[in-house]
A = this chain, B = another copy of it.
Amino acid sequence: MQMTNQQQQYDRGITIFSPDGRLFQVEYAKEAVKKGATALGITYDEGTVLAATRSTPELQVRNPEKVFKVDEHLGIATSGLVADGRKLVDEARNEAQKHMMTYDEEIPTSVLAKFIADRCQHFTQYGGVRPYGLSTITGGIKDGNPKVYHTDPSGTLNQWNAIAIGKGREEANEHLEDEWERDLSEDEAIDLAVSALKEGEEDIELENIELSVVDEKDNFQRFTPEDLDEKGVEF
């Protein structure tokens, strides 16, 4: 990030606008996401694919780290500070349960994504805290409608057909723009997710991929690298 002298006078607190109306602390938190592992969400005909790259050192046990199940038809992929991710996903799960208890139905994808974005915005307007160093991709399906939402540290919220975040976002998004179409099958969507991550981070292997699918038939499903290999995912 290119810095100017002036910038340094307005970038130490979340409650300070710069003379040209910028919030530098939010922009710096976005930098934490730009360095994070690539993550993406893709909608297809009957569901959504959530995926992210990861590296699992030799003796580490492979647990969910970037792609989380929230409830049966809803998952979240994150990029940025991993501890912030775990905390925000916890809050999201809690919100999902409250919704279930209050309305006796699963929380709609859009409602949960808005909840996450509002939490992020809150940490940009009051002093004494820092913004979340995290972007999220919430993917789910309800009443046959697969949906993917993106939030960033400022609390901005948008719905996408397909989107990638993190350090490989530029190449991955180009690839998604080129290849995504409206009526992908599940297998095609998985193939697209894997190839987009590979565009984003060239030196990854299949074992560096964490991938889940959310559809109405099988609900939230994890695919291990071995599953992907068996499915014959091109790599």
CB of A131 within 8 A of chain B? yes
A21 vs chain B, min Cβ distance (A): 3
Proximity string of chain A (72-90) to chain B, C-beta cutoff 8 Å, 1 when within and 0 when not: 0000000001111011001
Assess whether A154 is interfacial by the CB under 8 Å rule. yes
User: In the complex, what's the smallest C-beta–C-beta distance from A183 to chain B, in angstroms?
Assistant: 15
Judged by a CB distance under 8 angstroms, whether A214 is at the interface is no
Q: Are A86 and B30 in contact (CB under 8 A)?
A: no
A1 is an interface residue with CB less than 8 A from chain B: yes
CA distance A126 to B128 in the complex (A): 6
| Per-residue interface assignment for chain A, residues 152 to 177, with 1 indicating a CB less than 8 Å from any chain B CB and 0 otherwise | 00111111111100000000010011
Q: How far is it, in angstroms, between the C-alpha of A22 and the C-alpha of B61 when the chains are bound?
A: 26
Within 80-124 of A, Cβ neighbours of B (below 8 Å) are at 81-84, 86-87, 90, 114, 117-118, 120-124
Residue A223, interface by CB 8 Å: no
Query: Given known contacts A21-B32, A21-B35, A22-B32, what 16 new A-B pairs fall within 8 Å (CB)?
Result: A7-B19, A8-B9, A13-B16, A15-B128, A17-B25, A21-B30, A23-B130, A59-B163, A59-B173, A59-B180, A60-B159, A60-B161, A86-B114, A87-B155, A126-B128, A127-B128
Question: Does A18 count as interface, using CB distance less than 8 angstroms?
Answer: yes
Residues in chain B near residue A82, CB distance under 8 A? 154, 156
Interface size class of A (residues with CB under 8 A): 35 or more
Which of A11, A120, A131 has the most CB atoms of chain B within a 10 A radius of its CB? A11
A147 to B, closest residue via Cβ: B61
Pairs A-B, 4 closest by C-beta atoms: A21-B31, A83-B155, A21-B32, A17-B28
Tell me the chain A residues, 1-44 only, with Cβ under 8 Å from chain B: 1, 3, 6-25, 28-35
Contact between A19 and B14 (Cβ–Cβ < 8 Å)? no
